[in-house]
Chains A and B, each alone.
Chain A
Amino acid sequence: MSTASDPPSETTGVPPSASISPSNTDILSAGHYRVALVGNPNTGKSTLFNALAGLNVRTGNYPGVTIEKKVGRCYASTSSGERHSIDLVDLPGTYSLAPRSPDEMVAVEVLTGDVDKEEPIDLIVCVVNATMIRRNLFLVSQLMELGKPMIVVLNMIDASQSRGVKIDTDRLAKNLGVPVIATSASRRIGIDELKHLIADQCATQNTGKDSTEPSEDNRIPRPDPRSPLPAAFAEATDSVMKTLVEHNVPHGSLPNPFMIQRALIDGQHAAVGSPTAETFLSQQYGFCITRAILDQRKQIFDSDAGGASVDLIDRECDARYAWALAQLDGVIQKGSSDHSGWTDRIDAILTHRVFGLISFMLIMFAIFQSIYSFAGIPMDVIDGLSGWVSDGVVAIMPPGMLRSLITDGIIAGVGGVLIFLPQIALLFLFLALLEDCGYMARAAFVVDRMMSAFGLSGKSFLPLMSSFACAVPGVMATRVIESRRDRLTTIMVAPLMSCSARLPVYLLLIGAFVPATKYLGGWMSLPALVLMSMYLVGVVVAVPVAWVLKKTILRGDAAPFVLELPEYKLPALRVVFSRVWQASVAFVVRAGTLIFAASILIWFAGFWPGDHTRQFELETQLESMEASDQSNLDSYAAAKSELNEVKGSLIENSLLGKAGHAIEPIVRPLGWDWKIGVGAIASFPAREVIIATLGTIYSLGGEEDDDGLIGAMRASKYPDGSPVYTLPVALSVMVFFALCAQCVSTLLVIRRETNSWFWPVLSFTYMTVLAYVGALVTFQVGSRIF
């Protein structure tokens, strides 16, 4: 365990006044530093982040941009025993610091100190996959050019050792000129040493900075001398910097030389609409820098006319890989088995052109089957609990408005939604497991051809897969897609993926109206199949939608697809647990705030206006009958049926009932009654509200029975005695919810990510139309078949 909770020894003897430090909450630590965690994808960076910070993580946004900022706090002491608090900034995984997508741009700006100017990075921790050091040194060489103190962490050292590879970390540290430490974040090897090293490096850096700072301010920043690039690059960078000084840019606000160098190299071929170092610089310093960069780029070409390639990036990559090879001189001793065979052996099946597809479908089916079957027990517990609480409230409170608010509004509403916490947790558990063990990249590989058929790439797979949990992180995950058109198409279809908020709706209706027929000796059940097909509805509809978008407003060439397939590994339970935990907390908070407020509003609309005195009289009468246990059954039953009648007429005449009857003609063709119509309308802010709404309607309307909401829905009848819910009705409701954009959070996140109201309005409109048409077709066709 970490030492975060241990009381620090040096606080003893500190006078009380000294402990009120102006800095902030860290009154117990000597210093406060910010450390950036950078690395290629698949280096175990998030596992390392978790091992260092535990659950002590804050998320937010960078000022002005919408990129998620993940900061973890840990405490570490130096070798001299001083205790420091360290803020770990987790940057998105990247292969290169050449900014090409919005989140790579933020990573670069954080590292150069152009974002969060008041909180500069004190130390860079570069996470390197110990099994592929040479490839990872590419990024290391770029990071070294930033001129910041740095530590290289050789993570997953256990995987490399198990192949018999020996790595001389001291020699590598000597070659690179920065500290190198070997860790295994998943086995928690070397974590405490890493913390010490971070604290030591931060502390020494700080003391060094204090003495030299005044003189440094007057110096013009120069490219880092350790750069492996040809001298022409550094000369050109210097020259651009000189132009800025000539244009009277104050020394304090000159850019990091790395930015200029990137602008020189990348400028040639920027994709339209994506951020580059050059656009960044010209925004900050105006046209003079654009011209200087153009001139100097020509200079590099001329100075090196005999060079091998016309492309500056080509020259950059050659120089960096040659440098990486030189750094590894004498560092790595190859073992007997130089390749881990079992990843390839598993891949022989999972990425096979036939078995790969079959296993992909089997894995997806297994997930839906287990979400459906495993969650039953904890669900019953929560259901029982909410019934017990409701009974308790009824027992201690006399009938009246307040009791009605608590039992009919809050418990029936919020409780009905909370029941689905186990499923949400399970869904996130499976997604986290698949991602952490390395299968997600294989899934993207297997489905890429199918995605490309409708204009997307395997890169859209992860955002779309995340959208099965929730479209909000799914839309945010599209930032990894470089092509703007692909990104917008993915954003447009992401809300069609059935998110976890739809799951409760499906489960409720399937549980109530789909017979639990079993096939294949119990291995497959009809409810699970229906559940899976509801998920497929969204996917199947997304295909033509994406295709149409790519043929019309988002027309253009296919984007590149280069994807690393990481080695399989056992999932790190801490990472998986923390993802499930965060998702569950978010769900409960949502139920406690948004759904809570909606429940109260819906209850009020269902309660008012109306004279409830007769209802409360009857309830009092009934409860006293139950208590005395002597009255005859006939009068009890008579009172009970009168109560239900009174409740039913009250809700029909309430605000909710009137609104429902007003919209009934619109929802009638879908096979719905007014109650479902009201539920669907009420759930436009958030889908789960339909459960709260139906729970409240049936509870207020006196139709709640012992089986909870499912029982009430089964028993629900039209005045002529025919059941409200039939299988086609249930399917039509489910299809409507599968396709409709009933989520304010998603629409707002689309607005933020696209920076325009056009896209959220488009997705709301097309999804609502699709949902209505889909539900109409389902009911009209379904009611003719069944």
Chain B
Amino acid sequence: MTQPLLTVKNLSKSFAARGAASAKDSRTIYAVDDVGFHVEHGETLGLVGESGCGKSTTGRLIMRLIEPSEGSVQFEGQDVLSLKGTDLKRLRKAMQIVFQDPFSSLNPRMSVEDIIIEPLVVQGDMNGTDMRRRARQLLDKVGLSSAHAGRYPHEFSGGQRQRVGIARALAPNPKFIVCDEAVSALDVSVQAQVINLLQDLQEEFGLSYLFISHDLSVVRHISTRVAVMYLGKIVEIADKKTLYASPRHPYTQALLASIPVPHPSLRRQRARIGGEVASALAPPSGCRFSQRCPMAEDLCRREAPAMRHLAASHEVACHFAERSGTRAASPKARAVG
């Protein structure tokens, strides 16, 4: 088996909570807690979870936009977290990121051309004429016109701006792109266009994506494999088919059940989960989902479940994953409301 493009192990990030009454009272938020996964060459790993669960932080940790507290990130066998100075700068050519907000991700004072070539300017191994030529090629590639090069971000719509953001990410010829909620801010029709664009580019350049989103339908469309996060931890990873057809973690099941079905008579029986997400300041002991889980038992409140393999490409962190499988098979039996 060849080495995966990206391997993440035990990745953790904790923040000191602000506003603590005294130094003694200072508490720690575990935004990302012991997260591990890998991304193969040319595949898309979807990362889903509700807001605040640490998906974006995970993306930024891998990119080293935030420094992790613990863990390791290997990119093509290189230890990303130990790189410094020039080596880190070189690595950034191979890893790029597309941001969520197409309005704040483009500098309003720079022309689109300058925005796109910024990575090339910073890396400094191309001359001005070549960079400008590349910017125009990229604009064509992402479905804008090279005539747009001299315009400013405010002259574009959200979808067009996101295309500029994608062009910028492509500029240094990366192998891996983190798409951090890259389509969440766009209208549904524009979402589809941008997703198709991402898929075309993936095919053409052999890109790998880490596709972060809270939208399960979008993730289902674009991903090869999907990881589900809850409160800073990954609870289930499986290839797309397995995850959507037979989810094993109760949280994944609840998430999938919450996707609206656009047909009145096909209304799904909802496996509702009660309560709110527990505070990351004081996560419940044992399994972090135990407070809301419909099948939690004493064991769950005592002991945090480790990730374990159910099948070759199906990992889950639940003590009762086998049992929950039967439940998914007959959802009506346990459904509420």
A binds B: no
Residues of chain B at the chain A interface (Cβ within 8 Å): none
